């Protein structure tokens, strides 16, 4: 039963239920990595809105070093998203069970690399802090593109601006006063979608709390459980493909 459950989370055949389960798991990981990364390098790496805004500010101020750092973060997120799309389309072309699992396996490996880089941050901050920021931005782009493709753009997990916006829209529809409305123009809130969005937001929040507490008390080793979660999500379809290739 657990094997079938894990297989269903990333298999090519999708449903709203499996998309929701996977989305909540990835939102937790993203929240934890984002919070832990902030404590490590003093920068959130999951959303590009702030980075792009800072690019404009620092261009106006003439702070070229910060502009270069911001561009590197933005490009890293972009390349991560492109990598995810390449892996998924490559696997889809070959009808692999692991077409959605491959980006998660790569993400797990990179989170372990983040933990390894962390041991060098204090002694080589000039070199390893920028590298760590770019690594985490790449990971966030990788994950966000994967869940976007798997859910047909209905779910995103690495930032909450869109989630909160969609929650507000659904609440507005839910509490709309339909006095005098006809069936043709009746406004109805999507309660099922509202529950999904709320659960994603909560998962990101819990992940952020867990990541911050883990980093505070355990340091960079707290990335290991996150990598294990991702490996658990990805490993079954990959093993299925390996068995199919051998046969």
Instruction: Give the end-to-end CA distance of the chain in Å, rounded to a whole number.
Output: 24
In a domain, residue 220? The reply is yes
Share of the chain above pLDDT 70, in %: 95
Mind listing the pLDDT tens digit for each residue in 220-231? Answer: 888 889 999 999
In a domain, residue 66? The reply is yes
Instruction: Locate 232 and state its tokens.
Output: 């658990």
Mind listing the pLDDT tens digit for each residue in 84-94? Answer: 999 999 999 99
CB atoms within 10 A of CB 126: 6
In a domain, residue 246? The reply is no
Counting the structural domains of the chain, the total is: 1
Q: Quick one: pLDDT band at residue 97, thresholds 50, 70, 90?
A: very high
The candidate with the shortest Cα–Cα distance to 148, out of 64, 217, 82, 63, is 82
Q: Is the dihedral of CA 58, 129, 87, 46 positive or negative?
A: negative
In a domain, residue 35? The reply is yes
Q: How far apart are CA 150 and CA 145, in angstroms?
A: 9
In a domain, residue 155? The reply is yes
In a domain, residue 45? The reply is yes
In a domain, residue 72? The reply is yes
In a domain, residue 244? The reply is no
- State which residues form the domain around 215: 14-237
How much is the pLDDT for 126?
61
In this prediction the pTM is: 0.89
Q: How far apart are CA 128 and CA 140, in angstroms?
A: 18
């Amino acid at each position: 039963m657990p094997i079938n459950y894990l297989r269903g989370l990333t298999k090519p055949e999708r449903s709203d239920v499996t998309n929701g389960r996977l989305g909540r798991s990835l939102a937790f990981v993203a929240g934890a990595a984002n919070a832990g990364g902030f404590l490590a390098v003093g920068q959130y790496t999951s959303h590009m809105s702030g980075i792009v805004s800072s690019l404009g500010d620092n261009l106006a101020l003439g702070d070229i070093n910060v502009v270069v750092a911001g561009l590197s973060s933005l490009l890293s997120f972009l390349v991560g998203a492109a990598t995810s799309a390449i892996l998924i389309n490559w696997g889809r072309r070959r009808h692999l069970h692991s077409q959605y699992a491959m980006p998660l396996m790569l993400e797990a490996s990179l989170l372990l690399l983040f933990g390894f880089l962390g041991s060098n941050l204090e002694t080589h901050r000039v070199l390893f802090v920028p590298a760590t920021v770019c690594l985490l931005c790449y990971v966030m782009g990788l994950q966000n593109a994967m869940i976007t493709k798997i859910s047909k753009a209905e779910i995103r997990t690495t930032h909450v601006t869109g989630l909160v916006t969609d929650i507000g829209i659904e609440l507005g529809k839910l509490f709309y006063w339909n006095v005098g409305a006809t069936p043709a123009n009746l406004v109805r809130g999507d309660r099922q979608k509202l529950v999904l969005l709320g659960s994603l937001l909560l998962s990101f929040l819990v992940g952020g709390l867990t990541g911050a507490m883990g980093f505070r008390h355990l340091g960079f080793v707290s990335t290991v459980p996150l990598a294990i979660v991702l490996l658990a999500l990805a490993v079954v379809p990959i093993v299925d493909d390996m068995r199919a290739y051998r046969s």
